[in-house]
Amino acid sequence: MMKTKKIFWVLSGVLFVGLGAFIGLRFLWHGSVTRNCIYTENAISVPKQLVDKKNILTKSAYVAIGYDDKFSCLNNLKNINREIISSEDIDNGIGIGRDYYEERGLKIQELKTDISFSILKIIAVTKHGISTMDSGSGPIYYLILKDNNNVLYKIATVSLGANNKDRFLGVVSSDISNNLREVRLLSPFNFKEKNDKKKEKHLEYSEVENF
pLDDT tens-digit map of 72-128: 889 999 999 999 988 887 876 555 778 888 888 899 998 887 788 999 999 999 887
pLDDT tens sequence across 35-45: 467 888 888 88
Handedness of CA 38, 43, 44, 47 (dihedral sign): positive
pTM above 0.85, yes or no: no
Query: 3-state class of 54 per DSSP?
Result: strand
pLDDT at 24: 45
